[in-house]
Homo-oligomer: A and B are copies of this chain.
Amino acid sequence: MLLNKKQDLASQLRRTKILDATLLLFSENGLSQLRIAEISKRSGASIGSIYHHFKDREGVIYALYHDSFVDCFEQLRQSILEETDAESGIKRFVVSYLQWVFENPAQASFIYAASQEEILRRHQDELHAFKSQFYLDIFSWMSPFIQSGELLALPPWAYDAIIMGPAHEFSRRWLGGLRDLSMEEAQSIIADAVWRAIHID
């Protein structure tokens, strides 16, 4: 009753076209120059249609943020869960994130740009729920290694800062104009550094 109706498909397609145009325009001119009228022109959707599907400008931005975000997190979650020892898992996590950035630079830039906006406050609860589940999964993977003394025992917030901080910092710079830096080299250097920071000999 809910799927595969003509309207659903058309609606989904329109939504996708709007978000595709949005990402493209963001890549060209940045978030603050993103204009509804431009999205309309570029996507072929009327202004009314955009507002119908996304409520307002922030709604468009949030939808694209959300989709990109979920895509990235799912890849990360899968990666780490495939590994069975601490060192491979932690390094794979870092490498996978950088790989996602490498493969999806526009989305990655968009996430960083949008995450600075207050937009997210409006959807705080939904985002928080998603992130919480994600961190739960990661934690339950790490937990045995913390118990066994392979990984440092730290307050929960510290893992994110120590494990993901360097990759985020590098990504922001790589995306922001330093794309000639080798992502492959960065993956190995940063993964090694994180491992030194987080494990116990």
A160 to B59, CA, bound (A): 35
Q: Are A169 and B164 in contact (CB under 8 A)?
A: yes
Q: Are B170 and A168 in contact (CB under 8 A)?
A: no
A186 to B168, CA, bound (A): 18
Chain A stretch 182-201: residues in CB contact (< 8 A) with chain B: 185-186, 189-190, 193-194, 196-198
By a CB distance below 8 angstroms, the chain B residues around A123 are: none
Closest residue of B by beta carbon distance from A157: B181
Protomer copies: 2
Instruction: Count contacts on A: residues with CB < 8 A to the other chain.
Output: 37
Known A-B contacts A157-B170, A169-B160; the reply to A116 vs B31 at CB < 8 A is yes
By a CB distance below 8 angstroms, the chain B residues around A164 are: 169
Q: CB < 8 Å: which of B29, B160, B169, B197 contacts A118?
A: B29
A170 to B163, CA, bound (A): 11
By a CB distance below 8 angstroms, the chain B residues around A117 are: 30-32
A140 at the interface (CB under 8 A from B): no
Closest residue of B by beta carbon distance from A156: B181
